[in-house]
Structure 1
Amino acid sequence: MRGGYRGRMPPESRPRLRPVHWVAVDVAVAVLLAVVDLHAVRGGVLGWLTVLAMTVPLAARRIWPVPVFAVVMVFSALAPQFEVSRDAHLVRALALYPVLLVAPRWIAAAAASVALTTTVLASLAMAEFRMAEAAWSMFNGVLFLTTAGAIAIAVRLQRRFTDSQRRYVAAQREQAAERAVTEERLRIARELHDVLAHGMSVITIQASVARHVFEQRPWEARRALETIEDSSRGSLAELRQMLTALRADPLLDPAPTLSDLEALVARTAAAGVPVEVRSRGEQRPLPAGMELSVYRIIQEALTNVVKHAGPARAEVLLWYQPESLTVEVTDDGGGSVADRRDRGGEPGHGLLGMRERVAVYGGRLDAGPLPPPGRGFRVHARLPLTARRGEGDA
């Protein structure tokens, strides 16, 4: 071969014998043993029949291991009378092997005991029960049986280990698939919550404003309706983008980024909450997944301000540090902190979603009321820029 040997062949490309090939090998071995023993046998026709009955069944030892073993044991016990004792030891070992390989443990143990007893008694009978003369024949017989038994047990254990390994790998794959489905469902739920909660909050507040001023100040009602239209269009566009991604449409619009903050701030201001955005430190590109998470955190925090803070102003701070990015959203509203939590006093779905997004990157999120004498609420998130997890952002 040109280039010489280049390593072992991969397991999946190695040639493997099929069951029909092994049966063909057994047929060849049975024919060979029969031919050899027929030339060496003494005793005429009776000896020939004994040899054929002892060797020919080996061709089917993998198909009917226990019946073949029983037939071979009976006729191999008669073989020493026709001077084919050594080949009888080999035949017994070949018949025992498939029984030890596939039969239940108690059948395998019984077969091994029968084979050992038959070997010892046949050897003694050939030497007229003189132990000294029978010792060498017994040694050969036990050696054949022990070798066959050791190989069968080793193969059986290897098969069991391989089956266990396959089951383990299959279970791991199944669990990984279930985790992937669960994570994807949670991701979609977070995205839907972020999109719908912000859009519907703006629409609800502006619809309420339009209803109250419709007769006295129709121009304000008109402006509120325009805000509702803009907010609904933006929410529909994001929903369409998500559905397109789920359908794996190649014409996929880009996910929201920090460059879309201006539009988010405009929608929030139209809902009655002026927002100031400040940046500190040297701005630099972020991984796509992290930038989307930062946008969603700011969006959810502003949505909570619109829904719960009452008349308020909000401030967004993006602080770029050498090893981290700090995102802080504060407001001076007087809404109750309990309004931002569920009925059990635990963080609502919005805060939980923000915590999950931050946790993905090994960061930390704190959310709570501002310390006295200040009033309002603060969401503070810190995300390491030396990502602990390269989740597809590279």
Structure 2
Amino acid sequence: MIRTLKPAQLVFDIVVATLCLLLVLYVSALSPSLGTSPVAGIGMSAALGLRRISPPIALGIAWLTSLVQVFADIGPDPSNLAILPVLYATASYGDRITKWAGLVSSGVGALIIAIYLPLDAGYAPDLGSVSILAQLPAITLTMLITFLSFLAVFVLSWTFGLLARTWRASREAGRARIIAERQRLDAEREAAREHERTRIARDMHDVVAHSLAVVIAQADGARYAKDADPGAVGTALEAISTTAREALADVRVLLAQLRHNQGESPQPVLADLDRLLDQLRASGLPIRFEQVGEPVAVGTSQQLAAYRIVQEALTNALRHGDVAKQVDVRLDWADELGIRVSSAILTPEHPQGIGHGIAGMRERAELAGGWFDAGPEAGRWVVRAGLPSVFEPVTA
């Protein structure tokens, strides 16, 4: 296991390891009687320098150096303190095996020290000629105290490393949560923008398709009636002008929204249905409108959906249906706002269900909490939709 360190960290570890080695060499030269050896200093300094680059290698070097000290009867020196940062590194930076190997090393190392120090001639108590049995309690007590002392120091160092590892993991998890939250907010904003673009595209389709259908119908009517009824031409041109101006105003608002992401698009409601029906009647489409039941207040989203569904259904009837036959528009206020638009099919080869209009009507109904259905029925094209009378849209 080799870890990548930042240049500053690498330089710091090299400097610390070098200072440790220089300190051991200085102590050895100053007090030769202590029985220290440069071998121990070199090994422990190497372990100290490698503790963050490779905790398992550092632990192995520390163990090898300690065993050499024991079997070669080399006394301890300041470099032996390097075992503490090495144990810290095994818990803080090591993998799972290295981490637990550091904890086991704390116990085993404390036990070896507890056995080695009291039995070494320089550290055993002065018992004189007392028998082995008489020495046993003192030696055992010395070993126990030594073991517990070193175990506490080693385990404490290892625990500090584990706490540092846990703190780092918690900090990284916190950063990950912040990043995830930012990504979630970005995704929600993008979804909202996409929803707004889709809504504007639907409105653009409804406005342009309806207005062009009316304009074409009026133009055709004026062309056919210019000889038989010259007065109808003026009426048709007036209707074309009015429809085109309204469509241009609506399209400008929608384009401004796309450009600046602000402003309000046209929001027609059920009260505007009369104007819509009159406009289409003037285009030559015979329409019979009826309402069943007592109208109740509905939300703006339901009114907009109902208006757009009726508008799209009548526009399809004008473009694809038999305009010589009556179109029936019915609003039913029984349990919900029911919509039914029935128009005559011109030819079976040109059904009204092609294009984007059907999909747009269905999407509008579903977004308003309702349902939608369209299809041929007894030679007519029937559009049905149901919208809840009371509906609270879910907002993000």
- TM-score of the two chains, using structure 1 as the length reference: 0.67
1:240 aligned onto 2:265: no
Aligned residue among 271, 285, 298 for 2:283? 271
2:291–2:330: 8 Å Cα contact kept in structure 1?
yes
Are positions 1:320 and 2:320 aligned together? Answer: no
Query: Is 1:151 equivalent to 2:158 in the alignment?
Result: no
Q: 1:386 to 1:220 in 2, by over 3 A?
A: closer
Decide whether the 8 Å contact of 1:277 with 1:317 is kept in 2.
Answer: yes
Q: Which of the numbers 208, 219, 242 marks the counterpart of 1:207?
A: 219
Out of 133, 146, 154, the residue aligned to residue 137 of structure 1 is: 146
1:101 matched residue in structure 2: 92
Aligned residue pair count = 344
Alpha-carbon contact 1:313-1:333 (below 8 Å) kept: no
* Deviation readout 1:201-252 (Å, 9 max, x if unpaired): 1122222333444455443333322222121112112222323444569875
* 1:291-311 deviations in Å (ceiling 9; x for gaps): 111111111111111111122
Residue 379 (1) aligns with residue 383 (2): yes
Q: Is the CA contact (8 Å cut-off) linking 1:94 and 1:148 kept in structure 2?
A: no
Instruction: Give the corresponding residue for 1:290.
Output: 302
Contact between 2:210 and 2:312, CA under 8 Å: does it hold in 1?
A: yes
- In the alignment, the residues of structure 2 paired with residue 354 and residue 199 of structure 1 have an alpha-carbon distance, to the nearest angstrom, of 17
How big is each residue's C-alpha offset from its partner over 1:350-387, in whole Å with a ceiling of 9 and x where there is no partner?
Answer: 110111111113311111123x3xx3221111112342
Partner amino acid for 2:184?
Answer: Q
Query: Residue type matched to 1:369 in 2?
Result: P
Give 1:295's aligned amino acid: Y
1:365 maps to 2:372: yes
Query: Is 1:317–1:328's contact at 8 Å kept on the other side of the alignment?
Result: yes
Q: Quick check: which has more Rg, 1 or 2?
A: 2
- Rounded to whole Å, the distance in 2 between the matches of 1:44 and 1:128 is 27
Structure 2 vs 1, CA of residues 389 and 123 (structure 1 numbering), >3 Å: closer, same or farther? farther
> 117, 120, 129: which one pairs with 1:126?
117
Question: How much does 1:65 deviate?
Answer: 10
Change (3 A) 1:115 1:291: same
Query: CA, structure 1 residues 271+222, in 2 after alignment: closer, same or farther (shift >3 Å)?
Result: same
| Structure 1 counterpart of 2:20 | none
Return the alpha-carbon distance in structure 1 between the equivalents of residues 393 and 150 of structure 2.
Answer: 63
Q: Secondary structure at the match of 1:367?
A: strand
The structural deviation recorded for 1:187 is: 1.3
Whether the aligned pair in 2 keeps the contact of 1:315 and 1:329 (CA below 8 Å) is yes
CA distance in 2, matches of 1:287, 1:62: 69
Q: In the aligned structure 1, how far is the partner of 2:190 from the partner of 2:291?
A: 40
Per-residue deviation, residues 332-354 of structure 1 (Å, max 9, x unmatched): 45443743233xxxxx3111011
Compute the displacement of 1:162 (Å): 3.5
* Aligned-partner Cα distance in 2 for 1:382–1:262: 20
For the residue of structure 2 that corresponds to 1:340, the secondary structure is: coil
Q: 1:106 to 1:147 in 2, by over 3 A?
A: closer
3-state SS of 1:366 partner? strand
SS at match of 1:290: helix
Q: Which amino acid aligns with 2:380?
A: G
Q: Is the alpha carbon distance of 1:198 and 1:102 closer, same or farther for their aligned partners in structure 2, counting shifts above 3 Å?
A: farther
Evaluate the alpha carbon distance shift between residue 197 and residue 116 of structure 1 in structure 2; reply closer, same or farther with a 3 A threshold: farther
TM-superposed CA distance for 1:193, in Å, is 0.8
**Conserved in 1, the CA contact under 8 Å of 2:293 and 2:332?**
yes
Distance in structure 1 (CA, Å) of the matches to 2:307 and 2:51: 67
Aligned-pair identity (%):
27
1:255 maps to amino acid: Q
C-alpha distance in 1, partners of 2:168/2:395? 42
Alignment match, 1:256:
268
Which shifted more, 285-294 or 175-184?
175-184
Closer, same or farther: CA 245–276 of 1 in aligned 2, 3 Å: farther
Q: Distance in 1 between matches of 2:380 and 2:185?
A: 48
Indicate how the Cα distance of structure 1 residues 249 and 166 shifts in structure 2: closer, same or farther if over 3 A, else same. closer
SS at match of 1:365: strand
- Which amino acid letter does the alignment assign opposite residue 88 of structure 2? Y
Counterparts in 2 of 1:227 and 1:313: CA distance versus 1, 3 Å? same
- Opposite residue 362 of structure 1, the aligned amino acid is G
SS of the residue corresponding to residue 375 of structure 2 reads strand
Cross-structure match for 1:5: none
Q: Which residue is 1:231 aligned to? A: 243
Between 195-204 and 131-140, the greater mean CA deviation after superposition: 131-140
